[in-house]
Amino acid sequence: MTAQTNPEQSRNPIVRFFNINTSGEIGGRKLPLWRQLLIQVITLIIAFEVLFPIMYVVTLSFSSKTTRPSTLQLIPKEISLTAYKQVLDRPTANPVTFLQLLRNSFGLSVGVGLASIVVAVTAAYAFSRFKFRMRAVLMVLVFVPLLMPGIGLATPLYLLMNSVKVTDCGAGLMAISPFTTCAAGAGKIIFNLRDSLLGVGFAMIASALPFAVWNLKGYLDTIPKELEEAAMIDGAGPNQIFTKIIMPLALPQLAVTFFLGFIGHWQEFAMPWLFLTKPQDYTLAMTLYNMTGQYASSIPWNRFAAMAMIVAAPVAVIYIALQKQIVSGLMLGGVKG
Partner 1 sequence: MAAITAPNNFRENRPKLRQPITPFLYLLPAFLVMGVITFYPLLYQVVLSFTNFETRHLLLAFKSPDLEFIGLNNYKQIIDGSLPVQNFDFFRVLTYNFWWAITNVMVHVPAGVLIAVVLNIQGVWFKKIYRAIYILPVVIPPIVVATVWRNIFDEQYGSMNQLLTAITSFFGSTDPVRLRWLTEYTPPISWLLPNAPLTLAYYAMMIANFWLGWPFMCLVATGALQSISKELYEAASIDGASGAAQFWNVTVPLLRPAMVPAAIYGFVMSFNLFNFVYFMTQGGPARSTELLITFSYDLVRNLRLYGVAAAFAVIIFIVALVVFLITNRITRATESYA
Can residue 337 be called a binding residue for partner 1 (CB under 8 A)?
Answer: yes
CB of 79 or CB of 186, closer to partner 1: 186
Using CB under 8 A, pick the residue from 102, 114, 153, 247 that binds partner 1: 153
Q: Please state whether beta strands 188-192 and 173-177 pair in parallel, antiparallel, or not at all (unpaired).
A: unpaired
Can residue 213 be called a binding residue for partner 1 (CB under 8 A)?
Answer: yes
Can residue 191 be called a binding residue for partner 1 (CB under 8 A)?
Answer: no
Using CB under 8 A, pick the residue from 238, 247, 279, 300 that binds partner 1: 238
CB of 6 or CB of 172, closer to partner 1: 6
Q: Please state whether beta strands 173-177 and 165-170 pair in parallel, antiparallel, or not at all (unpaired).
A: antiparallel
Using CB under 8 A, pick the residue from 41, 77, 85, 155 that binds partner 1: 155
Q: Closest Cα partner for 145 from 82, 73, 205?
A: 205
Interacting stretch for partner 1, rule CB under 8 A, among 92-100, 104-112, 121-129, 253-261?
Answer: 121-129
Can residue 142 be called a binding residue for partner 1 (CB under 8 A)?
Answer: yes
φ/ψ (deg, to 5) at 285: -60, -40
Can residue 320 be called a binding residue for partner 1 (CB under 8 A)?
Answer: yes
Interacting stretch for partner 1, rule CB under 8 A, among 85-93, 106-114, 247-255, 306-314?
Answer: 306-314
Can residue 196 be called a binding residue for partner 1 (CB under 8 A)?
Answer: no
Under rule CB under 8 A, which residues in 159-178 are in contact with partner 1? 159-160, 162-163
Can residue 106 be called a binding residue for partner 1 (CB under 8 A)?
Answer: no
Q: How many H-runs (helices) and E-runs (strands) does the chain carry?
A: 14, 3
Q: How far is the CB of 100 from partner 1 (least distance, A)?
A: 19
Nearest-angstrom CA–CA distance, 63 and 307: 13
Can residue 158 be called a binding residue for partner 1 (CB under 8 A)?
Answer: yes
Using CB under 8 A, pick the residue from 81, 156, 278, 280 that binds partner 1: 156
The helix or strand, by DSSP H or E, that contains position 170, with its residue range, turns out to be: strand 165-170
Residue 159's CB is within 10 A of a number of other CB atoms, namely 10
Q: How far is the CB of 282 from partner 1 (least distance, A)?
A: 14
Nearest-angstrom CA–CA distance, 282 and 291: 13
Under rule CB under 8 A, which residues in 12-31 are in contact with partner 1? 12, 14-16, 18-26, 30-31
* 59 within 8 A of 76, measured Cβ to Cβ: yes
Neighbouring-strand partners of residue 189: 167
* C-alpha neighbours within 13 Å on the C-beta side of residue 153: 19
Alpha-carbon torsion angle 65, 66, 71, 73, nearest 10: 70
Can residue 68 be called a binding residue for partner 1 (CB under 8 A)?
Answer: yes
Using CB under 8 A, pick the residue from 223, 245, 249, 312 that binds partner 1: 312
Query: 31: left (phi > 0), else alpha (psi -120 to 50), else beta?
Result: beta
* 263 within 8 A of 184, measured Cβ to Cβ: no
Can residue 5 be called a binding residue for partner 1 (CB under 8 A)?
Answer: yes
CB of 95 or CB of 130, closer to partner 1: 130
